[in-house]
């Protein structure tokens, strides 16, 4: 891991295509939360992940790959921001 690597923020919303969708979402969040080196914030609409670029991409790939291979349909919407936003942090939009 390169200490000079930029930090990014990713926001993920999962939409499992099955009736018991809560279990899929909780499992996904736990996998992401168990990863060292990232900050995670969960709310009713999405999960935000902040960390070094390679760490964020790696944890998203790992967690989504597991769900894609679980033989149920799932939609994942992921948005990336090339700035770190820590959970609960207010940002000045002009500084972006």
Q: Which positions ≥6 away from 22 have C-beta within 8 Å?
A: none
- Residue by residue, DSSP assigns 36-84 as TTEEEEE-SS-EEEEEEHHHHHHHHHHHHHHHHTTTS-EEEEEEEESS-
Q: What is the pLDDT of residue 72?
A: 81
| Domain boundaries, given as residue ranges, for the chain | 7-87
Domain covering 7-87 in this structure, CATH number = 3.30.70.930
User: Phi/psi at 10 (nearest 5 deg)?
Assistant: -125, 140
* pLDDT per residue as tens, the chain (96 positions): 556 889 999 999 999 998 989 999 999 999 999 999 999 999 888 999 999 999 999 999 999 998 889 878 999 999 999 988 776 666 666 665
């Amino acid at each position: 891991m390169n200490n000079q690597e930029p930090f990014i923020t990713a926001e993920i919303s999962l939409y499992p295509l099955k009736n018991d969708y809560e279990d899929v979402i909780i499992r996904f969040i736990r996998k992401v939360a168990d990863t060292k080196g990232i900050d995670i914030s969960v709310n009713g609409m999405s999960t935000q992940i902040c960390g070094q670029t390679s760490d964020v991409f790696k944890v998203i790939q790992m967690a989504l790959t597991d769900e894609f291979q679980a033989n149920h349909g799932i939609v994942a919407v992921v948005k990336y921001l090339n700035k770190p936003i820590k959970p609960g942090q207010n940002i000045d939009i002009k500084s972006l």
